[in-house]
Homo-oligomer: A and B are copies of this chain.
């Protein structure tokens, strides 16, 4: 009964788009899969699926929703948890990184030091009644411009508005129509508008009070401008840097090592759009890899150097092209396209991770930041960009932040954030050293003694050598800063060659930072794995890889009748013990519909329990993409399932181990 049905393999190869269906399988079309690429991506249907199956939905939907905030429902939440679990395995466990969990709440001084406040953050005000957050400069601009428009109208001077501005203008007119301003006010407003970018937060607050600028939507006053970043962090990285000394000690004082963190971050997106790609709150996974600035090699670089990447480097972009280079990481580092081995290593590891979880490698490229585009801290930076219906979207950044963060926090706090390394060979240096006998010096020169000491601090080696020679002959002449020449004796100064031994090297490590936006990755992953079957174009299929699929196995009893309960419980319990997440669907609808619903949820495997199962202890096993079905003894099927889910067998292998099911239950 366990003979290999050759059609399985053929079906699988078709799925992989490696072969064209051969005529002899035409008869078997019902289970020959469609070619996924034959169907262009249908965004409307895709979005309907995500919404219908509650992958995610606007947060506070029943309250009307809040732009840029999304809740993940059960499948989205599981998908995210599985991506995170795989990320932990791929990076933290594999590279023995030190995971931390730092707070979201962050005091403002930390961001002032890191440069986020000055360079990134905008000043925000809140409506003092509703708490609505508004960008302070935009508010002032909007209100003053509206008043100027109103003034012009009142003076009968209204300029003909551009057609596309008409709607906007009308809204403004409603609020401001007819109010004429004094000539002075008009002048003041124009001056303010011209230099709005130069105002600090407190100055904008002053403007709001002086000109009674309120929230135009409510008429309420607004609070003092604040950096909202003082409340919640825009990245998890600072939590790593502030704990650097403790982490280094935990690692027995050695570099290189990496810390890693998965956490929630926040950004002031004023007009969020593009769904999960541009949100106010999101989950990030960040790695900070600390490395000796003088040695950025990576000991496992050889393991990835043959990986070929699509690189879009700085020079190509500067020439106005977006033509990627296909090049191995080894060659990219050797030719200097990627700055160093460690950066190259992580770029390659990011590529491996993304492909493993189901990103189409043909739609993945690494784009180098242009010099003027790089964040204030970076010396080289590559973004993993993934193509999707919105274009190419940055999903992972991989930057060499150099010593920037550790240096600024150390300077600000006075806490040394350095590595102290015992030198294998102490560095021995010799140099001439002048020693002054301060007692005699003071007695001889009185208040000039200090000036002479200073002079000696600045003498170089050749000059010291001269003085040494002169002293050997009795005395040496030294010039004071004001030009006087003083004679010194060997009793006052002795010059000798001394040996210095340095056994500790102290340095601020550089930081290579791979930083993952998990929500963006999750979204493009869903796009890349969405398609529809030719025979059921309304319904979608999400071909998520088993390792990240929310549910691995669907258990489908023929009906909810009690007679199936013992088997359903047996199969559930055995899968649970094997660590496989399965769900039972005993809802009152056909098996086909239940499978179709789970194709939409990306569930890769399904097993059916029917009357034959009760009679013969057999169970059918269905694969989502091919819709191929196999049959076997319940325990046999479970054992195959365990290997399929743990990626130690593929469907071809499964077809080798179990006979195909043609709709008729085999009877032994």
The complex places the Cα of A247 from the Cα of B61 at a distance, in Å, of 13
Report the minimal beta-carbon distance from A594 to chain B, rounded to whole angstroms.
10
Take A99-B74, A103-B281, A247-B74 as given contacts and tell me if A223 and B226 are in contact as well, using a CB distance cutoff of 8 Å: yes
Kindly state whether residue A581 has any CB partner on chain B within 8 Å: yes
Take A223-B224, A226-B223 as given contacts and tell me if A415 and B62 are in contact as well, using a CB distance cutoff of 8 Å: yes
- Contact in complex: B128, A202 (CB < 8 Å): yes
The complex places the Cα of A378 from the Cα of B78 at a distance, in Å, of 30
The complex places the Cα of A131 from the Cα of B228 at a distance, in Å, of 10
Name the B residues within 8 Å of A81 (CB-CB). 88, 99
Report the minimal beta-carbon distance from A279 to chain B, rounded to whole angstroms.
9
- Contact in complex: A71, B101 (CB < 8 Å): yes
Most chain B beta-carbon contacts within 10 A, residue among A107, A109, A242, A252: A107
* Extra contacts besides A59-B103, A59-B242, A72-B101 (15): CB < 8 Å: A53-B250, A62-B415, A62-B417, A63-B110, A63-B242, A70-B103, A71-B242, A73-B100, A73-B246, A74-B250, A108-B131, A128-B205, A131-B230, A232-B232, A252-B587
Q: Mark contacts of A58-85 with chain B using CB atoms, 8 A cut-off: 1 yes-contact digit, 0 otherwise.
A: 0111110010011111101110110000
- Contact in complex: A60, B110 (CB < 8 Å): yes
Report the minimal beta-carbon distance from A571 to chain B, rounded to whole angstroms.
14
- Contact in complex: B109, A242 (CB < 8 Å): no
Name the B residues within 8 Å of A93 (CB-CB). 576, 581
Instruction: Name which residue of chain B comes closest to A588, CB basis.
Output: B252
Name the B residues within 8 Å of A74 (CB-CB). 98-100, 247, 250, 259
Within 8 A of B (CB), among A164-206: 202, 205
Within 8 A of B (CB), among A87-118: 88, 93-94, 96, 98-110
Kindly state whether residue A54 has any CB partner on chain B within 8 Å: yes
Report the minimal beta-carbon distance from A65 to chain B, rounded to whole angstroms.
10
Report the minimal beta-carbon distance from A602 to chain B, rounded to whole angstroms.
14
Report the minimal beta-carbon distance from A509 to chain B, rounded to whole angstroms.
16
The complex places the Cα of A80 from the Cα of B102 at a distance, in Å, of 12
The complex places the Cα of A81 from the Cα of B93 at a distance, in Å, of 13
Instruction: Name which residue of chain B comes closest to A254, CB basis.
Output: B587
Name the B residues within 8 Å of A66 (CB-CB). 105, 107
Most chain B beta-carbon contacts within 10 A, residue among A73, A202, A259, A264: A73
Report the minimal beta-carbon distance from A610 to chain B, rounded to whole angstroms.
20
Most chain B beta-carbon contacts within 10 A, residue among A76, A131, A202: A131
Kindly state whether residue A227 has any CB partner on chain B within 8 Å: yes
Take A129-B202, A131-B108, A583-B96 as given contacts and tell me if A62 and B409 are in contact as well, using a CB distance cutoff of 8 Å: yes
- Contact in complex: A108, B130 (CB < 8 Å): yes
Kindly state whether residue A57 has any CB partner on chain B within 8 Å: yes
The complex places the Cα of A473 from the Cα of B230 at a distance, in Å, of 84
Kindly state whether residue A239 has any CB partner on chain B within 8 Å: yes
Kindly state whether residue A36 has any CB partner on chain B within 8 Å: no
Report the minimal beta-carbon distance from A556 to chain B, rounded to whole angstroms.
13
Name the B residues within 8 Å of A46 (CB-CB). none
A–B pairs, 19, beta carbons within 8 Å? A54-B249, A57-B243, A60-B107, A60-B242, A61-B242, A61-B243, A71-B101, A72-B101, A72-B102, A73-B100, A73-B243, A76-B101, A96-B584, A107-B131, A108-B131, A128-B226, A131-B227, A221-B224, A252-B587
Name the B residues within 8 Å of A230 (CB-CB). 131
The secondary-structure label for the interface of chain A is mixed
- Contact in complex: A103, B69 (CB < 8 Å): yes
Contact partner of A77 among B100, B106, B110, CB < 8 A? B100
- Contact in complex: A104, B246 (CB < 8 Å): no
Name the B residues within 8 Å of A584 (CB-CB). 96
Within 8 A of B (CB), among A261-305: 264, 266, 280-281, 283
Name the B residues within 8 Å of A102 (CB-CB). 59, 71-72
Name the B residues within 8 Å of A110 (CB-CB). 60, 63
- Contact in complex: A101, B77 (CB < 8 Å): yes
The complex places the Cα of A223 from the Cα of B124 at a distance, in Å, of 13
Q: Mark contacts of A409-426 with chain B using CB atoms, 8 A cut-off: 1 yes-contact digit, 0 otherwise.
A: 100110101000000000
Name the B residues within 8 Å of A53 (CB-CB). 250
- Contact in complex: B128, A99 (CB < 8 Å): no
The complex places the Cα of A252 from the Cα of B54 at a distance, in Å, of 12
Report the minimal beta-carbon distance from A237 to chain B, rounded to whole angstroms.
13
- Contact in complex: B224, A128 (CB < 8 Å): yes
Report the minimal beta-carbon distance from A98 to chain B, rounded to whole angstroms.
4
Instruction: Name which residue of chain B comes closest to A238, CB basis.
Output: B60
The complex places the Cα of A338 from the Cα of B241 at a distance, in Å, of 49
- Contact in complex: B104, A281 (CB < 8 Å): yes
- Contact in complex: B54, A246 (CB < 8 Å): yes
Take A107-B66, A110-B63, A413-B63 as given contacts and tell me if A100 and B72 are in contact as well, using a CB distance cutoff of 8 Å: yes
Report the minimal beta-carbon distance from A523 to chain B, rounded to whole angstroms.
14
Kindly state whether residue A158 has any CB partner on chain B within 8 Å: no
Instruction: Name which residue of chain B comes closest to A410, CB basis.
Output: B62
The complex places the Cα of A71 from the Cα of B103 at a distance, in Å, of 6
